[in-house]
Amino acid sequence: MARNKQSKVQSLTSKVQCPRVLTLDLDENAEMPKWLAYSLLCLFCWGIFGFLAKLGADRISPGHMQILFTVGMIPLVLAAFFRSQRKVDTDRLGVIYGVLNGVFAGLGGLAYFAAMEAGKASIVGPVTSLFPLLTVVLAVSLLKERMNRVQMFGIGLALVSICILSI
């Protein structure tokens, strides 16, 4: 019986391959599918992130927030490192994209904390969440990706919302 349980735990951990601390023990028989639970947890974390960003930006400078934010990201990066069996891909162009990714994300973070400092979290949160708008437009113009109708309509709505909120 005990062995059975142990082997089940082993098979689960080998499947997930990440530090146990971060793994959720979601009941296999639960009515909510695992992916949905994880998506909701993501939604929850990012929602709290926006609130904490406002809370912090009201007291300290965007630079301070970005430094502390970077420190807080370390556990995630360590988890990624161990997940990839401590191997890091070093394709030259891939590395350049990755590092640039971090530089732009960091500068974006500074602007995000500055926006939170200057405005209300309940407005800055939704407006800054519109950033995939530019990603979609860039992907269409530079990578020849196709935009679907839902995305096109979404971009239209995004522009309307920005106009309304800027009044």
Partner 1 sequence: MPGWLFYSLLVVMLWGIVGLLQKLGTNRVSANSLLIWLMAGYILLLPWLLLTTRVSVLTLRDAIIGTLAGITNGLGAWYLFASLENGAKASVAIPLTALNPLLTILLAMIFLSERLTALQWVGIIIAIIAGAMISYETSETSLSQPR
Q: Which of residues 60-99 bind partner 1 (CB under 8 A)?
A: 60-61, 63-77, 79-81, 83-84, 87-91, 93-95, 97-99
Tell me the closest approach of the beta carbon of residue 3 to partner 1, in angstroms: 26
List 7, 10, 11, 161, residue binding partner 1 (CB under 8 A): 161
CA 21 to chain centre: 19
Tell me the closest approach of the beta carbon of residue 130 to partner 1, in angstroms: 6
d(CA 75, CA 132): 26
Which CB, 1 or 143, lies closer to partner 1?
A: 143
46 part of the interface to partner 1, by CB under 8 A: yes
Which CB, 1 or 52, lies closer to partner 1?
A: 52
10 Å CB burial of residue 127 (0-12, 13-18, 19+) is middle
- Count of positions (residues) in the chain: 167
11 part of the interface to partner 1, by CB under 8 A: no
Q: Which two tokens stand for residue 27?
A: 């009941």
Which CB, 6 or 98, lies closer to partner 1?
A: 98
Spatial contact of 140 and 147, defined as CB atoms under 8 Å apart? yes
Q: How many CA atoms lie within 13 A of 2 on its CB side?
A: 0
- The one-letter code for the residue type at 109 is G
Q: Which two tokens stand for residue 100?
A: 């640039």
166 part of the interface to partner 1, by CB under 8 A: yes
21 part of the interface to partner 1, by CB under 8 A: no
Map residues 106-135 to x or -, x wherever contact with partner 1 holds by CB under 8 A.
xxxx-xx-xx--xxxxxxxxxxxxxxxxxx
Which CB, 9 or 96, lies closer to partner 1?
A: 96
Binding-residue total with partner 1 (CB under 8 A): 114
At 158, give phi and psi (nearest 5°): -60, -45
Q: For 165, which DSSP code?
A: H
